Structure 1
Amino acid sequence: MIDINKLIQGKNLTEIEVHVLKYIIKNIDTVLQKSVREIVKENYTSPSTVIRLS
């Protein structure tokens, strides 16, 4: 399992960005085939949040 704390250490991520990152890690196999809009819809956030995170 990936230690999320090591990924976000030293980054100024919002709570929503951390949530989306956890979602991506948890669903890595399926998220690669999804569009940004699909990820946004499933996480109740904005496209700019996902783009900024990437």
Structure 2
Amino acid sequence: MAYNEFTWGKARQDFGLTAIEGTRFFGEIEPVAPSEMFTDVTRTQFTLGNRNRK
């Protein structure tokens, strides 16, 4: 199937796919606080990235 011929309806029909709507894929997920290491690394990367502006 060429990309420009692709439709969700045709894919469902051709491949026997089904869609489950109205439910979350992972259910309820509790938020997780980032670790101190993650926060430090991302802060450092953000700072280094901003220095390279031309």
TM surpasses 0.5: no
> What's the TM-score, normalizing by structure 2?
0.31
TM-score by length of 1: 0.31
Question: Bigger relative contact order, structure 1 or 2, given CA contacts below 8 A and separation 6+?
Answer: 1
